[in-house]
Amino acid sequence: MSQLRTRDVVDADLSAVLSIRNRSFGPLSTGGEDWWRRVSAETLGGRMIAVVDESDRVLGAGRIRPYEQAWGGRHLRMGGVAGVYVEPSARGGGVATTLTRALIARMGELGDVVSCLFPTTATLYRRSGYEIGGAQTRTTYAGHLLRDLASSVSGRATDTSRSVVRPATPDDAQRLHDLARDAQVRHGASGPMVPTAETFRGMLEREELISYVASDGFVVYDLSDATVTVEHLVAGSPESAAALWGVVGSGSSAAPTVHTYLDPRDPLTLALGGLAANEVQQTPWMGRVIDLAAAFPGRGFGAHTSVAARLVVDDPEAPANSGTWTLSVSGGRGTATRDEPTSGAPPLEVGARGLSALWCGWSVSRVRQAGLASGGSDDGDAELDAVFAAAPYITEYF
Ligand SMILES: CC(C)(COP(=O)(O)OP(=O)(O)OC[C@H]1O[C@@H](n2cnc3c(N)ncnc32)[C@H](O)[C@@H]1OP(=O)(O)O)[C@@H](O)C(=O)NCCC(=O)NCCS
């Protein structure tokens, strides 16, 4: 392969990038041009990188979408890597590997302290230190069970809904953002992203989505082919949860099936008088730590967790992560300090993939079994497990 170089995508490159995209995924679907224009505008000027040959021909490109993601109920800047594609005739020559490395370096410069992506091949991203962090889970319910939830709280299916739920308008966008963010803080969630108020406004303006607000919650869903798909449902109390789910289930005579993209441990599971369908759909996502020194103090921890764990990291592609670290947690806050080798028990040693897996809540014993960690001690493993305990999930797809 000729000499590869990376540079920012500029306006004049967009048609070449779109052509590679279409050679990778087929033509844009109806309405796809709007989406393409929107994501291009969002990422041009530093968040879209091209790999070019010596004659400056674009061979591949990728984007870093600017997201906010909860870890332990606190929100971190997350670079969502997407739109990675390589001209078919240039594949197999390291273009995507070159691109992924450039994207990681750029996220470090931009201050995106962690990164996530939905892979079509794990190998490519594992090479650059990403690991499977969890799955976006689609759980399916019978609509009548959701309808029954409303009557179990109010005595009549329609009373609760009517009293506290109203259709949302684009002016509710900021409120939806705030409610979603607050719920992630309240549940100490790890993994979910918070759509911006602007993103919610776009959803509320799109006529194909249906949305309602309650005093302390909201729902956004889609209805097509006799099936409801719940994109977001946030509730601050059992009453508003019942009312909002009641609205979703109220159409069970015409739309008996309800798909949901939720926390697999959404309290709905505990409140519902029946079970979810056995079949779930899972789309795996991968995570990576871009800047441990900044990400760790930004993450939330259990208020009563008090622990210090040591860890040796070797991460050539994000060299700021490399070194021997002491990760301390106290009063819900963490600090990451680089320390000198000491005479105590030898710390666990990981590469970038092992660090990403630990960050995403994989226990040390599992990371070891996958061959992604070595050294350390039983006590050290238990300390790291206490630090990183989490069951992360993502509900959005990007
Ligand atoms: C996947 C893709 C980006 C790889 O681009 P590339 O420049 O050929 O990748 P590289 O040469 O850097 O290869 C890196 C590794 O990716 C993996 N990989 C590449 N193509 C693959 C494929 N079709 N299936 C499975 N793994 C693949 C391989 O492990 C490869 O390493 P190897 O060549 O040592 O086996 C490219 O094939 C493409 O554009 N595909 C269509 C769009 C797509 O799937 N994009 C990824 C979205 S997450």
Angstrom distance (rounded) from CA 35 to CA 96: 23
The tens digit of pLDDT for each residue in 133-146 reads 999 999 999 999 99
Rounded Cα distance between 81 and 114, Å, is 11
Q: Read off the DSSP letter of residue 347.
A: P
Rounded to the nearest whole angstrom, what is the distance from the C-alpha of residue 324 to the centroid of ligand 1? 33
Q: Which domains does the chain have, with CATH numbers?
A: 5-129 (3.40.630.30), 137-283 (3.40.630.30), 291-388 (3.30.1050.10)
Higher-pLDDT residue of 99 and 160 is 99
- The whole-number average pLDDT for the span 368-387 is 97
Facing residues of 313 across strands?
A: 323, 350
Q: What is the pTM of this model?
A: 0.95
> 121 in ligand 1 pocket by Cβ < 6 Å?
yes
- The model's confidence at residue 154, banded by pLDDT at 50, 70 and 90, is low
Is the minimum distance from the CB of 394 to ligand 1 under 6 angstroms?
A: no
Q: Which amino acid is at 260?
A: T
Overall average pLDDT of the 337-345 stretch = 78
Residue 91 CB less than 6 A away from ligand 1 = yes
Alpha-carbon span 50 to 90, nearest angstrom: 13
User: What tens digit of pLDDT does each residue of 163-182 get?
Assistant: 589 999 999 999 999 999 99
What's the rounded Cα separation, in Å, for the pair 19 and 16? 5
Question: Would you say the CB of residue 153 lies under 6 angstroms from ligand 1?
Answer: no
- Residue whose Cα lies nearest atom 12 of ligand 1: it is 94
Is the confidence at residue 389, as pLDDT, over 90? yes
In ligand 1, the atom with minimum distance to the C-alpha of 24 is: 41
For the Cβ of 20 lying below 6 angstroms from any atom of ligand 1, the answer is no
pLDDT tens, residue by residue, 264-293? 999 999 999 999 999 999 999 999 999 999
The whole-angstrom separation of Cα 263 and Cα 396 is 11
Cα-Cα end-to-end distance for the chain: 31
pLDDT above 70 for 96: yes
The tens digit of pLDDT for each residue in 211-239 reads 999 999 999 999 999 999 999 999 999 99
Cβ–ligand 1 contact at 312 (below 6 Å): no
Nearest protein Cα to ligand 1, atom 21: 121
Would you say the CB of residue 46 lies under 6 angstroms from ligand 1?
no
Ligand 1 atom with the shortest distance to the CA of 119:
48
Centre of ligand 1 from the C-alpha of residue 80, in Å: 18
Cβ of 120 less than 6 Å from ligand 1: yes
Nearest CA to ligand 1 atom 18: 124
Higher pLDDT, 92 or 155: 92
Work out the average pLDDT over 342-355: 90
